Amino acid sequence: MSPPCSVQVTGGFALLAAWFFLANGWRNLFTVLSAAAVHEAGHWLLLRLLGARVLSLRLSALGAVLETDSGRLSYGGELAAVLAGPAANLLAALALTAPGRDEFLAAAGANVVLCIFNLLPVRPLDGGRALFLLSSWLAGPAAGEAVSRWAGTLTAAALALGIGLVIQKTGGSLWLLPALFASLRWGVSPWFSAL
């Protein structure tokens, strides 16, 4: 089998991973990375099932992005592919908390956190893309764009506020800063990029 796609890792990703490792230890880093791997594997699997090609996997400080030629997919197909990531996390969490298992609670928690985080209606997170696809499917692309812009900006503002609150309350957790900047950028950028 040939490798599924090319992989690009940015310096920002390596730096953030190193920082997270220093702040939280290798075990937590492994937990988070494996939850992320489950997530991306979910996307990848569904894209392959739908016949779309995955061109590359890009790991940056703001997360992992799969580049695909998804232009050929239908709304329904793309929606399914977008939601496959969080669904994979959910399944993994269910499997990890199967009755009688206590030792994988942290891994299950990481999967749940990743699932919920990705379902936030902010593009480019899965929830934002799903909202855009769904609303475009139902009401047309213009309405979909408007809906997801507003939802994205409001959620991103709330998210930034939440992360800021955590940082302030703990007096640290600075490795969350990239997420703070990312959410600010995600909230603001749709209003400028399309013009």
Partner 1 sequence: MTSRQTGKRINAMRGQRRRPVGSARRKKSEPLSAKDLRRLAQLVACGGVFVLLVAAKLLLPAKMAVFNQRLSSAMERNVDVQAVFSAVGRAFSGENVMEEVYQAVFQPQTEGASPTGALRTEDMKTQTVKLRDNGALDTLRSYREEPETPEPAAPSETPEASNLAYVLYSQENLPSGVRMDQVLLGFDYSPPLAGGVLSSDFGYREHPVEGEERFHYGVDLAADAGTEVDCFADGTVTAVGESSSYGRYCVVSHPDGYATLYAHCSRVTASSGAAVKRGQKIAEVGETGMATGPHLHFELQRDGAYLNPIYYVSAL
Residue ranges in contact with partner 1 by CB under 8 A:
2-6, 8, 23-25, 27-28, 31-32, 53-56, 93, 96-97, 104-110, 112-113, 165-166, 169-176
Between 60 and 97, whose beta carbon lies closer to partner 1?
Answer: 97
The Cα–Cα gap between 27 and 147 comes to: 40
- Residue 5 or residue 137: which is nearer to partner 1 going by CB? 5
**Residue number, 105 or 138, with CB nearest to partner 1:** 105
Burial of 27 (0-12, 13-18, 19+ CB in 10 A): exposed
Question: Residue 23 Cβ, how far from partner 1 at the closest point, in Å?
Answer: 5
Taking the complex as a whole, the smallest distance from the CB of residue 102 to partner 1 amounts, in Å, to 9
CB burial of 56-74 (b: ≥16 within 10 Å; e: otherwise) equals ebbbbbbbbebebebeebe
CB atoms within 10 A of CB 30: 13
CA dihedral sign of residues 119, 120, 123, 124: negative
What SS3 state is found at 173?
coil
Instruction: Please name the residue that has the structure tokens 């298992």.
Output: 101
The least CB distance from residue 163 to partner 1, in Å, is 11
3-state secondary structure of 65: strand
Nearest residue (CB) to partner 1, 24 versus 153: 24
Least separation in angstroms between residue 100's CB and partner 1 is: 11
Q: Give the burial class of 168: count Cβ atoms within 10 A of its Cβ; 0-12 exposed, 13-18 middle, 19 or more buried.
A: exposed
- In the complex, the smallest distance separating the C-beta of residue 115 from partner 1, rounded to whole angstroms, is 10
- Residue with Cβ nearer partner 1 (99 or 142): 99
